[in-house]
Chains A and B, each alone.
Chain A
Amino acid sequence: MRIASAAIAGLIFGIGLALSGMLDPARVLGFLDVAGGRWDPTLMFVLGGAVGVAAIGFGLARLRTAPLFDDRFDHPGETAVDGRLLGGAALFGVGWGLVGYCPGPAIASIGFAGTPSALFALAMVGGMLLHKALPDSASQPS
């Protein structure tokens, strides 16, 4: 059931991304391009809808002591705002701004968007492996 639930969650996530328009990097860049004279606020509505529903859903889910098909909630325990967090976020932001793909749309585009998009996803996985290969990444919460 865990596996089936995860697959269905991924499927709904992918349909949501497709419906929202955020599978088109041009739409994402239209949001990020604040000085272009044609700012497209669509992404804020996607994020707003997602955060709103998730905030309610998470609140309800956590009324339970455990998830349906596991014995514990995996609570991200890290709370520190440090250089690693902000440096990583900044590097990610530069990559996001260069092409308009963040990880969700990049993965969701593998099946339909053609070779350059798939190569982006491949390079992204390469960046993840590069990080794993760094010596001090073992001490990091994943």
Chain B
Amino acid sequence: MIADFTPVPALIGGALIGLAATLLLLATGRVAGVSSITAGAIAAPGPERDWRTAFLVGLIFGPIVFAFFGGELPRPQLPDLPIVLGAGLLVGFGTQLGNGCTSGHGVCGLARFSPRSLAATATFVAAAMATVFITHRLAGG
């Protein structure tokens, strides 16, 4: 797929993500970090699991609603299955060890001006860029 630069939908889409995080905080007092919400949703039953499950169900239906109103969804091309599974494990394990991901640290943490989240975001972006450099540029993949 050709990656074209699309700043306007990116800004509007980003603003919707910020709005969603604001709504969650305003209504429930909770932080919209998808990795923490996912980990909490597979934990012990209770009220903290219920809102998380509801958030994830909404998140899964979001793109479907978007497509229903004429939005175009990607048909992603992923690498070989062992890489997909290994990467998934790293993302799941790493976000738990580091207490957050692109939404928790990257969006909500930066919006709270948290130095801890800034350090985490700088680290995972740098590690991801280094990984892409190695796999796409050095290894020729």
Contact = CB atoms under 8 A, between A and B. Distances in A.
Most buried by B among A102, A106, A125, A127: A127
The interface residues of chain B, by DSSP majority, are classed as helix
Most buried by B among A33, A55, A56, A91: A91
Interface residues of B, number: 114
Given A13-B20, A42-B10, A103-B38, A128 B59 contact: no
B29 to A, nearest CB: 4
Interface string A8-41: 1111111111111111111101101111101011
Contacts of B27: 1-2, 5-6, 9, 67-70
Contacts of A119: 81, 84-85, 88
Contacts of A91: 90, 93-94, 97-98, 127
Interface residues of A, number: 119
B62 A99 contact: no
A85 B121 CA distance: 10
19 contacts: A2-B51, A6-B27, A13-B55, A16-B14, A32-B131, A40-B4, A48-B11, A51-B110, A54-B107, A58-B22, A78-B99, A80-B116, A89-B119, A90-B127, A91-B94, A92-B124, A108-B60, A125-B38, A127-B88
